[in-house]
Amino acid sequence: MTNPFPRDFLWGVATAGHQVEGNNVNSDTWFLEHLPGTIFAEPSGDAVDHYHHYREDIALIAGLGFTSYRFSIEWARVEPEEGHISVAELDHYKRVLETCLEHGLIPVVTFHHFTSPRWLLQLGGWESDSTPELFARYCDRVMAHLGHLIGVACTLNEPNLPWLLESFGIGGEAPENRGTVPMWAAAAERLGVDARTVAPFQFCSTEEGFQVKVAAHRAATAAIKAHRPDLLVGWTLANSDIQSLPGGEGIADQVRRDVNERFLEASRGDDFVGIQTYGRTVYGPDGHAPAPEGVPVNQMGEEIYPQALEATIREAHRIARIPVIVTENGLATEDDTQRLAYLETAVDGVASCLADGIDVRGYIAWTAFDNFEWIFGYRPKFGLIAVDRTTQERTPKESARWLGNRARQEDKVTATNPA
Ligand code: BGC
């Protein structure tokens, strides 16, 4: 078979600032983690101190054979108070980008990966009409300082996630109920705002939230393109393979519409859409169905189902009709042989999409390091590289070597056999 991977295919691993950097103290998420009644299992703290260890981390990723590194720039660091831009923090990200380029890694940069500055929450967060403009202004400042170094730009990470989480019963509080939920009520009290207006990015699934996110993505795209018309810009979506059991078709159709289809439709006209798939989500007559008895599950108790990636790439291609980059895909497990097998099936799925002529530009695994898995804390292990958080020592797992070698081989094959 002709090798389907194009020469400039991105083989990478991803991280997100808040999950790895540590001490993102001006962010809304840090604030939520420390509230009474918080739904976070533990605070992020020092994370894996990537903020200080980025040089060795990037060298390690490149040394494993990868050609790309996806990471995020933290709005809360760059603009810790509204309108105050920290040039020192922009310079930090400049060094991170330069280090990627020195090591031959194409930097895929996410401008917003779930976390926002705490002050944005005070101003109505992701349900406020003023947010798109504030976000675009931040993107403009980042581009003015760093734009020439960026390889691919992702505006918002998983703007559709709250609708998927809501179908599992997480977050999704209607504005009128927020005051009755301890974390929301405590946030409102500390911020001195009405609980109905507390709208963090990951947890609000209202119609206003949808409109604000689409507007923010468009405004950010324009701000980024104003500096670099040539730069590939898109957003990245949480694309579960939505399926149903008999009697669950109606619910599945509704979730597929709310979570996948309308966001893929809104992606039309972008340079690419980032696909982030972890498995399938199955709905029965009573809603989200648990994993069937006896099937292997991940650390969150969900079925291990790597075939989902191929299905969601095909769905994205059919609906958005633009190039696709797999910007996240991975498995939470303590058993790295399970992860390796998962990655193998997932990458085969990408190869089959490419062989069918679907324009997939990259495969970026989630995640480089075991890290802060949001409300679940540090228990889930998604990393291809283990980290001892007392010494901050990094140890690549077999899965990291396997995927890095795959990247190396494909690079070689495509260089000698451009077909
Ligand atoms: C997010 C990551 C997260 C991963 C695993 C995605 O929802 O973009 O930040 O850690 O999935 O749950």
CB within 8 Å of 81: residues ≥ 6 apart: 117, 119
Which atom in ligand 1 lies closest to the alpha carbon of residue 382? 5
pLDDT 10s digits, 283-308: 999 999 999 999 999 999 999 999 99
The Cα 306–Cα 319 span in angstroms is 21
- Say which range, 130-144, 225-239, 404-418, has the weakest mean pLDDT: 404-418
pLDDT number for residue 271: 99
Question: What number of helices (H) and strands (E) belong to the chain?
Answer: 15, 13
276 close to ligand 1 (CB < 6 Angstrom): yes
Kind plus residue range of the DSSP H or E element containing 416: helix 398-416
Using only C-alpha atoms, the chain has a radius of gyration, in whole angstroms, of 20
Query: Whole-number mean pLDDT of the chain?
Result: 96
In the predicted model, what is the mean pLDDT of residues 192-218? 97
- Is 3 inside a domain boundary? no
pLDDT at 97 over 50: yes
CATH of the domain at 120: 3.20.20.80
350 domain-assigned? yes
Atom of ligand 1 nearest to the CA of 161: 7
Alpha-carbon gap, residue 403 to 24, rounded angstroms: 30
366 lines ligand 1 (CB under 6 A): yes
- Whether 2 is in a domain gets the answer no
pLDDT confidence of 416, banded at 50, 70, 90?
low
Distance of CA 41 to the CA centre of its chain: 20
* Cβ 157 under 6 angstroms from ligand 1: yes
Taking CA atoms only, the protein residue closest to ligand 1 atom 5 is 373
Ligand 1 mean position to 419 CA, how many Å? Answer: 35
- C-alpha of residue 40 to centroid of ligand 1, in Å: 15
Question: For residue 121, is it within any domain?
Answer: yes
pLDDT band at 233 (very low <50, low <70, confident <90, very high): very high
CB 259 within 8 A of CB 164: yes
Least confident of 124-138, 161-175, 237-251: 161-175
Report the pLDDT value the prediction gives residue 184, as an integer from 0 to 100: 94
On the question of pLDDT at 337 being above 80, the answer is: yes
Q: What number does the ligand 1 atom closest to the CA of 366 have?
A: 4
Q: Which of 147, 295, 134, 155 is nearest to 227 (CA)?
A: 147
Contact by Cβ (8 Å): 327, 236: yes
| One-character DSSP codes across 148-170 | GG-SEEEEEE-TTHHHHHHHTTS
Residue 113 alpha carbon to ligand 1 centre in Å? 9
Q: Any catalytic annotation for residue 102? A: no
Element holding 328 (H helix, E strand): strand 324-329
On whether residue 404 sits in a domain, the answer given is yes
Q: How many CB atoms lie within 10 A of CB 336?
A: 18
DSSP string, 69-122: EEEE--HHHH-SBTTB--HHHHHHHHHHHHHHHHTTPEEEEEEESS--BHHHHH
Q: Which of 20, 278, 328 to mutate to test the pocket of ligand 1 (most atoms within 8 A of CB)?
A: 328
User: How many domains does the chain fold into?
Assistant: 1
Q: Is 16 in the pocket of ligand 1 (CB under 6 A)?
A: yes
pLDDT over 90 at 413, yes or no: no
62-83: pLDDT as tens digits? 999 999 999 999 999 999 999 9
Q: Is 259:163 a contact under the CB 8 Å cutoff?
A: yes
DSSP reduced 3-state for 400: helix
CA angle at residue 262 from 260 to 264, to 5 degrees?
A: 65
Instruction: With cut-offs at 50, 70 and 90, classify the pLDDT of residue 1.
Output: low
The backbone torsions φ and ψ at residue 388, rounded to the nearest 5 degrees and listed phi first, read: -90, 110
> Residue of the nearest CA to atom 9 in ligand 1?
16
Residue 23 has pLDDT above 60, yes or no: yes
Instruction: Indicate the pLDDT class of residue 417, thresholds 50, 70 and 90.
Output: low
In this prediction, residues 322-351 reach a mean pLDDT of 98
Cα separation, 71 vs 286, in Å, equals 38
Answer yes or no: is the C-beta of 158 below 6 A from any ligand 1 atom. Answer: yes
Instruction: Quote the ligand 1 centre to 366 CA distance (angstroms).
Output: 8
In the prediction, which pLDDT does 415 show? 59
410 pLDDT above the threshold of 90: no
Residue 4 forms part of a structural domain:
no
Whole-number Å distance, alpha carbon 161 to ligand 1 midpoint, is 9
Calpha distance 136→227 (Å, rounded): 12
Choose the catalytic residue: 158, 310, 328, 373.
Answer: 158
The predicted structure's pLDDT at residue 419: 44
| CA–CA dist 259, 254 (Å, integer) | 8
Where does the pLDDT of residue 173 fall: very low under 50, low under 70, confident under 90, or very high at 90 and above?
confident
Query: Atom 3 of ligand 1 has which residue's CA nearest to it?
Result: 373
Tens-digit pLDDT profile for residues 339-398: 999 999 999 999 999 999 999 999 999 999 999 999 999 999 999 999 999 999 999 999
Kindly report the backbone phi and psi dihedral angles of residue 351, in degrees, each rounded to the nearest multiple of 5, phi listed first: -60, -40
Ligand 1 mean position, distance from CA 2 (Å) = 33
The whole-angstrom separation of Cα 240 and Cα 290 is 15
373 CB near ligand 1 (under 6 Å): yes
Ligand 1 test: best mutation among 369, 374, 379, 384, most atoms within 8 Å of CB? 374
Return the DSSP state at 384.
S
| Contact 328 CB / ligand 1 (< 6 Å) | yes
Atom of ligand 1 nearest to the CA of 16: 9
On whether residue 46 sits in a domain, the answer given is yes
DSSP string computed for 109-130: EEEESS--BHHHHHTTGGG-TT
Instruction: Label residue 169 by pLDDT band (50, 70, 90).
Output: confident
* Contacts by residues 386-392 (CB-CB < 8 Å, ≥ 24 positions apart): 387/48, 389/46, 389/48, 392/48, 392/49, 392/53
Is the CB of 238 inside a 6 Å radius of any atom of ligand 1? Answer: yes
| Stated length of the chain | 419
- The CA 232 to ligand 1 mean position distance, Å, reads 22
Has residue 412 got a pLDDT over 80?
no
207-222: average pLDDT: 98
Residues spanned by the domain of 399: 10-416
Residue 48 lies in a domain: yes
Residue 372 CA to ligand 1 center (angstroms) comes to 10
DSSP code of residue 225: H
